[in-house]
Chain A
Amino acid sequence: MKVELSNDEDLQLLWTRMAKEKFESKKLEKENIMKALKQKSSLDINKLKKGLGIKILWCCGFLVSFFVLMLLNLDKVEFLKVMSVAVALYVLAAVIMYIEYRKMDSLSRMDDSVLELMRHNLKAITSALRMERIWGFFVMPLAVPGGILISSTLKGNSIMETLQDRQQLMVALVALIAVVPLMGLLTEKMNKSAFGAQIASLQENIIKMETLG
């Protein structure tokens, strides 16, 4: 049969023949299917989710060690005050990250419409990267002076004494001015190289599906 290239039905017929020849003859082995079902997902959203999960675990680990330290130093009131603030901040960080973690649960959404899932994934990826930024720019700067305060109060110094110690202040300042922005910049660069292309591709596809241009 001669195929007229201007006819939609003929194009469909051509496609059907091509698909039959090219794809219907291939067979997936049962063992390969079973093997695939046991693999870990390589989708970006799942990698980010795993990364966020690890951060939550780190937070929980820190909280446990904070509590142990507090229990061992119940007599040091100044130290307990500093640690209470640290505990509150870590609890807050863990809760916020857990909320994001739950939001990223895209696995049950794979049978949503394509546009809906892409919007959801784009939102989840940018949100997870925002979390990374918050972690880099807020938690790290708090961790440096926090660490100095904790070690100083643990030695029996008061909070005021620690804050008036020039040497301690210099260490905290150097860390805040040099190390923290550098780490933030590195995180930003790594995230851009790891997820920049994927974000751009999702954005491009969403625009294509939402507009006729």
Chain B
Amino acid sequence: MPSTPSNIFLKQIGAHEGIIHKVVSLYTDGKEDKEDLYQEILLQSWKSFANYKAEAQFSTWLYRVALNTALNFRRKYQKTEALTATQNLSDTDVSAGSGDKEMLYYIVKSLDEVDKMLITLHFEGYKNGEIAAITGMTTNYVNVKLHRIKTHIIHRLKSVHNES
């Protein structure tokens, strides 16, 4: 396959498409919104691909584009799925491994857009300084906010465990 920009792009997207699935799943509810956001992220990534510098990590660059698109994307459906799901999960057997994973996913999904972005990047292994560079926030703010979000998540997970 010749190494044209479109082929390089397709190869990179193929290797990192989990990022797009993650951002779309966390930021949208409803099939139509999900499809629209997929398309929009792919389109914006392609249009910005000329600016991508090979020395930077593609995953970090793609996160930036995907989060920027998600935060500027207009949703047709209101956020209800995440809230309902967290309520339903509290009634299920969360002591099983899959329960914890699902619960963590839905707690993160139910966070506001900014907190969701910060904790996702943190869970993906980005250091606070890197998160600050991606988001444009100060490292100090990232430290404080992440501490609060983690406390909130742990509290939510524990309260569900205690209820079950």
Contact = CB atoms under 8 A, between A and B. Distances in A.
A37 interface: yes
Contact of A117 (B72, B73, B100, B153): B72
A19 B25 CA distance: 11
B17 A27 contact: yes
Contacts of B161: 5
Given A15-B104, A18-B102, A23 B21 contact: yes
A17 interface: yes
Interface in B17-72: 17-18, 20-22, 25, 36, 38-40, 42-48, 51-52, 61, 64-65, 67-69, 71-72
B85 interface: no
A190 to B, nearest CB: 15
A113 interface: yes
A23 B150 contact: no
Given A43-B73, A208-B112, A209-B136, A110 B44 contact: yes
Contacts of B153: 11
A41 B43 contact: yes
A161 interface: no
B104 A11 contact: yes
Contact of A23 (B14, B22, B52): B22
Interface stretch (A28-36, A130-138, A150-158): A28-36
B43 to A, nearest CB: 6
* A contacts with B: majority SS: helix
Contacts of B46: 37
Chain B interface, >50% SS class: helix
A42 B36 contact: yes
A59 to B, nearest CB: 27
A27 B101 CA distance: 21
Centre residue among B25, B72, B97 by max chain A CB count within 10 A: B72
A182 to B, nearest CB: 28
Nearest to A209: B137
Interface in B62-92: 64-65, 67-69, 71-74
Contact of B72 (A5, A28, A45): A45
Interface in A4-31: 5-6, 8, 11-12, 14-19, 21-24, 26-28, 30
A18 B104 contact: yes
B105 A11 contact: no
Interface residues on B, range: 35 or more
Contacts of A11: 104, 123, 150, 153-154
Interface in A135-181: none
A114 interface: yes
B114 interface: yes
B133 interface: yes
B29 to A, nearest CB: 15
A128 B134 CA distance: 27
Contacts of A28: 13-14, 17, 20, 38, 42
A108 B48 contact: yes
Nearest to B132: A113
Nearest to B157: A5
8 contacts: A11-B153, A12-B125, A26-B17, A111-B52, A112-B136, A114-B134, A114-B136, A210-B137
Interface of B: 10, 13-14, 17-18, 20-22, 25, 36, 38-40, 42-48, 51-52, 61, 64-65, 67-69, 71-74, 97, 100-102, 104-105, 108, 112-114, 117, 122-125, 133-137, 141, 144-145, 150, 153-154, 157-158, 161
